[in-house]
Amino acid sequence: MHARSRTPLVAAALTAALALSLAACGSSGSSLPAPKSSGGAAAPTFQQVIDSAPVAAASAIPADSLMAKIKARGTLNVGGTDTSALFSLKDPVTGKLTGFDAGLAQMLAKYITGKPNENLVLVTADTRETLLQNGTVDSVFATYTITPARAQKVAFAGPYYSSGDAILVAKDNTGITKVGDLNGKTVCTESSSTAANDLKQYAPTAHVILFQTNAECQQAVEQGRADAYVLDQALLLGDQYRDPKVKVVGQPFTSEPYGIGLPLSSPEMKTFVNDWLKEIQADGEWAKLWKATIGSVLSGDAPTPPAIGSVQGS
């Protein structure tokens, strides 16, 4: 899932683990399950990871930088989502966000301000660049694939994670198992997503319909208005985790490196966030967060994160 050569094994393991989780936890759980233990000490909880996250030294935040403005405000304005299981999901009981992206956002907020105070602004694939450009948000944590075209509009720290396009179909669909099966079928994806262009290459005769949100695409598959839904495997597995009427089939057929979207007008912020990512990777905080979120449905050790600056546009 993180390195191209490991993708099939990890994807298969995650799909199997998700199926086991659904069987064990029921089909409608909206909160992440408790992290699994490898047999030794129990994995840290999401909250424990946030509580132990580091805080930057005062000398790391120059005056007049965007970080200084955020510190003075006391809150990091974050563009993200609240319906993506495993990455950013709002608990209906506590109102708190959990997931890998949500955890990183809270850890960065704590690194800058001393507290994990984030102000979530909901974004779609169509609005992310605009909200960064007009200063509504300081950062975007939203399974945001780094591309050279997007890097002309916003800056990207990272990559901090890697996924790839996969296929979601209705639970009883046995006719689609690989990307070639999408030719001639009605396939939905999110507008402005990289998947929309990928489909032109990998399934050129598919009839592609575009929706603004993940929920609209998932519903189209459930209702039979679309034969399949193509998007990052990480997001589709979250849909499968929450909805017993759909399933993820096949293996990812692209590589999608996720970055943290930042304003182009504040280059010091990109350097600062990249240094922070390197710090939490080196001290094990990145791996602990992975175990408490994505690793809660995937057995085994946390993978090696992608190297910072390793893809075009980062």
Q: pTM of this prediction?
A: 0.78
Beta bridge partners of 187: 208, 228
Question: Distance between CA atoms of 297 and 13, rounded to whole angstroms?
Answer: 9
Picking from 196, 100, 97, the residue whose alpha carbon sits closest to that of residue 143 is 100
Question: Residues 225-241: pLDDT tens digits?
Answer: 999 999 988 788 888 88
Picking from 57, 51, 2, 52, the residue whose alpha carbon sits closest to that of residue 272 is 57
More confident residue, 260 or 6: 260
Q: What is the mean pLDDT of residues 62-86?
A: 95
Q: What is the mean pLDDT of residues 8-19?
A: 40
Question: Distance between CA atoms of 74 and 313, rounded to whole angstroms?
Answer: 30
CA distances (Å), origin 227, targets 154, 166, 174, 189: 34, 14, 11, 11
Q: What is the mean pLDDT of residues 122-139?
A: 94
8 A C-beta contact, residue 204 and residue 180: no
Question: Distance between CA atoms of 222 and 217, rounded to whole angstroms?
Answer: 9
Question: Residues 263-280: pLDDT tens digits?
Answer: 999 999 999 999 999 999
Question: Distance between CA atoms of 4 and 100, rounded to whole angstroms?
Answer: 20
Picking from 133, 153, 100, the residue whose alpha carbon sits closest to that of residue 295 is 100
Angle between helices 267-282 and 66-73 (to 10 degrees): 70
Residue 25 structure tokens: 């936890």
Question: Distance between CA atoms of 241 and 22, rounded to whole angstroms?
Answer: 7
Number of C-beta neighbours around residue 125 at 10 A: 23
